[in-house]
Amino acid sequence: MKRVLVPLATGCEELEAVTVINLLRRAEIEVVTAGLTAGPVRASRNTVLVPDTSLDEVMDQTFDLIVLPGGLPGAQNLDQDGRIHTLLERQRAADRFIAAICAAPKVLAGAGLLDGKSATGYPGAIAPEDFPQVDLVDAPVVVDGNVITSRGPGTAMDFALQLIESLAGKTLRDQVESALVRETQQ
């Protein structure tokens, strides 16, 4: 079974975090949510999320994918935590998936994980002049190798579905999406 880590920081965007967690679990992918500190996490819109565990408890575990939810100051809190950078570098070294949405792609850019890659993020979150080595794309979801990025709360469902496809294939993605009864806009 594929395993995914979703670190939860104070001020994270709950729509992004919960959408990713929910859809991956619908795909029967094991999702572990880990707070940067022990106990509940207050998200950006004051929703209280209860992580499965703390980040310290999973530092030595292996994950097929690490997903960083965005939101402010959530993405900044992730970026300021050295353990997140350790986990991301370990993912890169093992050639495993890394994903970020909204403001969180800036964490990846700052760690050099987007160098020479195409990526997207919340408008203005990654300043081109600060990260000229990143090919910023205006798209809802961008996949470049093992790095998957997305723009924001409005793209969270597309992002989560892409994560399912990248981890487990298009057939499972289509099954999960079909059960959601999504309507495309005309």
Per residue in 110-122, pLDDT (tens digit) is 999 999 999 999 9
Structure-token pair, residue 136: 């910023």
Cβ atoms of 170 and 162 closer than 8 Å: no
- With beta carbons less than 8 A apart as the criterion, state whether 166 and 116 touch: no
- 91: in domain: yes
Specify if 185 maps to a domain: no
pLDDT band of residue 183 (cuts 50, 70, 90) is: confident
Domain holding 65, by residue range, is 3-179
Indicate the residue type of 160.
A
- Whole-number Å distance between alpha carbons of 28 and 69: 20
Establish if 144 belongs to a structural domain: yes
Write out pLDDT tens, residues 32-56: 999 999 999 999 999 999 999 999 9
Q: Euclidean distance between the first and final Cα of the chain, in Å?
A: 37
Spatial separation of the C-alpha atoms in residues 85 and 116, rounded to whole Å: 19
In a domain, residue 108? The reply is yes
**pLDDT tens digits for 123-164?**
999 999 999 999 999 999 999 999 999 999 999 999 999 999
CATH number at residue 173: 3.40.50.880
Q: Report if residue 79 sits inside a domain.
A: yes
Residue 52, in any domain of the structure = yes
Instruction: Indicate the number of domains in the chain.
Output: 1
- 102 is a catalytic site residue: yes
Task: Kindly tell me if the per-residue pLDDT of 186 is higher than 60.
Answer: no
Establish if 184 belongs to a structural domain: no
pTM of the model: 0.96
Determine which one of 102, 141, 142, 157 is catalytic: 102
Does residue 113 lie within any of the structural domains?
Answer: yes
Nearest of 167, 140, 137 to residue 151 by alpha carbon: 140
